[in-house]
Amino acid sequence: MTDLPAILAQITQEMADLPESGKSADYIPELACIDPDQFAIAVVTADGTLHTAGSADQPFSIQSVSKVFALALALGQVGDTMWQRVGVEPSGQRFDSILQLEQEKGRPRNPFINAGAIVVTDTLLKGCTPREALGGLMRFVQEAAEDDTLRIDPSVAQSEIATGARNFALAHYMKSHGNLVHEPDLVLGTYFHQCAIEMTVAQLARAGRFLADLPDGSKLVAAQRVRRLNALMVTCGHYDGSGDFAFRVGLPGKSGVGGGILAVAPGRASIAVWSPGLNVYGNSLRGTLALERLTTLTGWSVFG
């Protein structure tokens, strides 16, 4: 094993030296004012050790990284019937695109674009209230991270409800095709709260261990399902920049507009990075670069 602490320190320094950091998400008022230069990275290795560098204790809004947890939980509840309502193909479009919903009759391409994640949240609401559904999701994430202190930031959720017209359009459109069971207001109220989960990179890296198939990892999710989640993260985890992420980083990963990315090197490590400045695809600019450096320096790519 290479000297991981030294590698993380080196990467953190490289990121601090980068001339550009991207721009924080500007369409969610609560996120727009966050300093885009911040950076943190955390790695849990196969022996359970946690390594961190940068602002590893700074909580951030995980946003779309939550889609992985919601999908993992929902698959446990509805199984493969999920795939009747949502596909497993990369969309090749922006995260909030609506045009494929028209071309494909209300069925989202995959569960990691907004439309697909709204369907996943809709399944979590089956037979329960938004509060109960969110409670179930929080218990899943807390168990994954072995951390009962994880919480949702309600001010971020409210900020998104007030400005989330694009997501309301997606929900109403799917409803018009019969692919939303509950009322759009109810589903999106739940969805925006799910996106507003707050975590540090240390917490997020720990929460991702179940995807990394670590020797002593919790068996929250069956191995075959984990493989499928990881496959989806490779092909669809970074929207229309998924190919670029696979090409450069070589790991399953899921990004959020809060600047966080969760990535896993199966059998080796669960990794979380955070830097709020985004690239053109809406993924963390420095976070992606940091992961590219990490797999280059460690040889952790799943592709050889």
Active-site residue set: 64, 67, 191, 239, 257
**Three-class secondary structure of residue 288 per DSSP:** helix
* 230 is a site residue for a copy of itself (CB under 8 A): yes
Choose between 11 and 232: whose C-beta lies nearer to a copy of itself.
232
CB of 253 to a copy of itself, least distance (A): 12
Choose between 29 and 173: whose C-beta lies nearer to a copy of itself.
173
Helices (H), the chain: 4-17, 29-32, 66-78, 99-103, 114-124, 130-145, 154-163, 165-176, 184-195, 201-207, 223-236, 242-248, 285-298
Choose between 15 and 226: whose C-beta lies nearer to a copy of itself.
226
Number of residues that bind a copy of itself (CB under 8 A): 58
The C-alpha atoms of residue 301 and residue 304 are separated, in whole angstroms, by 6
**Three-class secondary structure of residue 6 per DSSP:** helix
* 280 is a site residue for a copy of itself (CB under 8 A): no
Choose between 60 and 95: whose C-beta lies nearer to a copy of itself.
95
Within a 13 Å sphere around the CA of 6, how many CA atoms are in the beta-carbon half? 5
* 297 is a site residue for a copy of itself (CB under 8 A): no
CB of 115 to a copy of itself, least distance (A): 11
Binding a copy of itself by CB under 8 A: which of 4, 9, 136, 266?
266
The C-alpha atoms of residue 60 and residue 47 are separated, in whole angstroms, by 26
CB of 151 to a copy of itself, least distance (A): 28
- CA–chain centroid gap for 211, Å, is 12
Answer whether 265's CB lies under 8 Å from 259's CB.
no
Under rule CB under 8 A, which residues in 171-200 are in contact with a copy of itself? 171-173, 175-176, 184
Choose between 112 and 140: whose C-beta lies nearer to a copy of itself.
112
Under rule CB under 8 A, which residues in 19-38 are in contact with a copy of itself? none
The C-alpha atoms of residue 206 and residue 43 are separated, in whole angstroms, by 8
Burial class (CB in 10 A: 0-12, 13-18, 19+), 215: exposed
| Closest to 211 (Cα-Cα) out of 72, 105, 66, 28 | 72
CB of 192 to a copy of itself, least distance (A): 14
Window of 39-47, 60-68, 198-206, 238-246 that interacts with a copy of itself by CB under 8 A: 238-246
* 1 is a site residue for a copy of itself (CB under 8 A): no
* CB atoms inside a 10 Å sphere around CB 50: 14
* 213 is a site residue for a copy of itself (CB under 8 A): yes
Burial class (CB in 10 A: 0-12, 13-18, 19+), 99: exposed
Binding a copy of itself by CB under 8 A: which of 10, 37, 228, 297?
228
Looking at the DSSP assignment, which residues form a beta bridge with residue 284?
Answer: 278
CB of 25 to a copy of itself, least distance (A): 14
The C-alpha atoms of residue 272 and residue 175 are separated, in whole angstroms, by 35
* Residues shown for the chain: 304
Under rule CB under 8 A, which residues in 109-148 are in contact with a copy of itself? 109-110
Binding site for a copy of itself (CB under 8 A): 87-93, 97-103, 109-110, 165-166, 168-173, 175-176, 184, 211-213, 223-224, 226-228, 230-232, 234-236, 240-244, 246-247, 250, 252, 264, 266-267, 296, 301-304
